């Protein structure tokens, strides 16, 4: 069985590769620390989840549903685990299987914050559906019924917080600019009044009197 770890933030996942055709699927799983080694996916849990999806274990190897159907048709060795019957195409479009419902519930337990009524980090209905290989509508239905509303996620909330802070700063700058503009307009009005008064004095006393007083005519 080929189970490979997936690095990165978010929920713990593993990539499972069919030992027959090389088909790959991603599944959520726990990680275990091996003696003297780094963290690695829990292969037992991963194997059980894949069997619940219709895969089969044959002599320690995992076969995808397609390879298992071919093996049965050609009379190869019996599988140690009978795969779950595949749903009819129309039923698969309408409803998730029980195994898929359990996986959606398990993953939502990890990535949805019921107290804050939103996803943790950057997860959404769509990212959960992508990880599990299911329809986003199934995730939304189960999340709304058992966990809470679609309240966004922590990344969106943080971005909104930064935007609100930026808007406050911009309003403060605009208010300060308006205050300075009002002060400048007041000074210009005062200068205008002084100019009118000076013109009136010039007319009243004449240029010669102003020159004697030391004021430019």
pLDDT confidence tier of residue 203, bands split at 50, 70 and 90? confident
Element holding 144 (H helix, E strand): helix 136-146
Identify the CA nearest to 25 among candidates 125, 100, 133, 123: 133
**132 and 168 within one domain:** no
As a whole number of angstroms, the distance between CA 53 and CA 99 comes to: 7
pLDDT confidence tier of residue 12, bands split at 50, 70 and 90? confident
Structural domain including 127 reads 95-147
Say whether pTM exceeds 0.95: no
**142 and 161 within one domain:** no
Q: Other C-beta atoms within 10 Å of 177: how many?
A: 10
Residue 216 has pLDDT above 70, yes or no: no
Q: Please check whether residue 32 is in contact with residue 20, taking contact to mean a CB–CB distance below 8 angstroms.
A: no
What's the number of domains the chain is made of? 3
Beta-carbon contacts of residue 92 (< 8 Å; ≥ 6 apart): 86
- Asked whether residue 57 is domain-assigned, the answer is yes
Residue 70 has pLDDT above 80, yes or no: yes
């Amino acid at each position: 069985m080929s189970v490979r770890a997936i690095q990165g933030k978010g929920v713990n996942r593993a990539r499972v590769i069919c030992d027959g055709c090389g088909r790959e699927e991603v599944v959520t799983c726990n990680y275990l620390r091996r003696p003297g080694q780094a963290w690695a996916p829990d292969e037992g849990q991963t194997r059980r989840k894949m069997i619940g999806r219709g895969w089969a274990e044959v002599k320690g190897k995992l076969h995808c549903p397609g390879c298992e159907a071919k093996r049965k048709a050609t009379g190869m060795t019996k599988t140690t685990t009978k795969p779950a019957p595949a749903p009819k195409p129309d039923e698969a479009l309408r409803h998730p299987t029980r195994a898929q419902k359990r996986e959606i519930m398990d993953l939502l337990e990890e990535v949805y914050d019921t107290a804050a009524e939103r996803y943790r980090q950057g997860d959404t209905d769509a990212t959960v559906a992508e990880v599990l290989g299911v329809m986003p509508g199934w995730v939304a239905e189960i999340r709304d019924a058992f966990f809470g509303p679609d309240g966004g996620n922590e990344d969106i909330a943080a971005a909104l917080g930064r935007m609100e802070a930026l808007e406050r700063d911009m309003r403060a700058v605009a208010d300060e600019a308006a205050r300075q503009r009002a002060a400048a307009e007041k000074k210009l009005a005062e200068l205008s009044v002084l100019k009118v008064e000076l013109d009136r004095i010039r007319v009243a006393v004449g240029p010669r009197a102003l020159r004697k007083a030391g004021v430019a005519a």
